[in-house]
Structure 1
Amino acid sequence: MKKATPSYTVSELCRALEVSTSSYYYAPVAPNKSEQALLELIKSIADDSGYTYGRRRVNVELNALNHTIGIYKTAALMKKLNIKAIRPKKKHYYPNSGDEHKYAQNLLKREFNPDSHNTHWVGDITYSVLGVQH
Structure 2
Amino acid sequence: MIGELGEQYGIADCCRVFEVSRSGYYAWRRRQGKTNLERDALKLVLIKYHKASRGSAGSRTLSEDLQGAGHQVGRHMARSLMREAGIVSRQRRDHKYKSSGVESLVAQHELEREFYVADINKVWCADITYIQLGKRWLYFSVVLDLFAWRVVGWSFSLVADATLVSESLRMAVELRGGPKGVLFHSDQGCPVQQFRLA
Q: TM-score range by the shorter chain?
A: 0.3 to 0.5
How does the TM-score come out when normalised to structure 1?
A: 0.46
Bigger-Rg structure (1/2)? 1
Higher percent of residues as strand: 2
How does the TM-score come out when normalised to structure 2?
A: 0.32
